[in-house]
Amino acid sequence: MSLSVEEILGLYERRGAQMYGSEAVNQVEHALQCAALAAEGGASAVLVAACLLHDIGHLIAEQPHHVDRAVDDVHQFLAIPFLRGTFCEAVLEPIRLHVDAKRYLCHAQPSYWQDLSAASRHSLDLQGGPYGQIEAERFLARPFSWDAIRLRRWDDQAKVPGKATPGLKDFAKVLHGLAQADRQVAA
């Protein structure tokens, strides 16, 4: 069930031109901007890959999130079976936790909610809203929670129409490198 790097790139090429929810960028623009911000911020290759792939569940979902629908597409979970087997937990967990990171940040920094886009506020409501104290503490205790928070920050900034970024082929090298490393470890 897991996708190869080539299949992932093909998915972005086929479905990535879809608008990213109600944002002013499409799915591939958002993914590339998020990955570029991570790379510029000195993130590891695994975190750059997580940033590139964090919303791939929207491309897999039958009905991706949109502000006109009151449906959470649970994209953060939907992606994992398609990526497991190709990428390690250090890539998968920040993807799985990036929605939780938004919920955490809304709890930990009340002004964070005000900076969210309208679409992100809408999805937050569908995703359970801000965490309470106990949920926030549990989130922080999870492995990769801090990587998920970093991913979330870049995710929030990766919505700039027309912003120049490296292309999918540039980031494909990162994905191939990680996928090959995982296969060698598993062998």
Q: What is the pLDDT of residue 120?
A: 78
pLDDT over threshold 60, residue 12: yes
Mean pLDDT of the chain: 86
Burial status of residue 14 (CB atoms within 10 A of its CB: 0-12, 13-18, 19 or more): exposed
What average pLDDT does range 148-176 have in this prediction? 95
Query: Structure tokens of 181?
Result: 């490393």
Residue 28, CB-side half-sphere exposure with 13 Å CA sphere: 17
Name, in order, each residue with C-beta under 8 angstroms of 163's C-beta and a sequence gap of 6 or more: 29, 33
Task: Give the residue among 34, 10, 22 at the shortest CA–CA distance from 150.
Answer: 34
Residues in a beta bridge with 84:
87
What average pLDDT does range 9-35 have in this prediction? 85
Instruction: Encode pLDDT of 104-137 as tens digits.
Output: 999 999 899 888 877 777 777 778 788 999 999 9
At residue 158 the predicted structure's pLDDT band, cuts being 50, 70 and 90, is very high
pTM of this prediction exceeds 0.75: yes
Query: Structure tokens of 150?
Result: 């970093």
Looking at domain 5-96+153-186, which of 1.20.140.10, 1.10.3210.10, 3.40.1350.10, 1.10.274.10 is its CATH number?
1.10.3210.10
Q: What is the pLDDT of residue 160?
A: 93
Burial status of residue 158 (CB atoms within 10 A of its CB: 0-12, 13-18, 19 or more): buried
Q: What is the pLDDT of residue 59?
A: 84
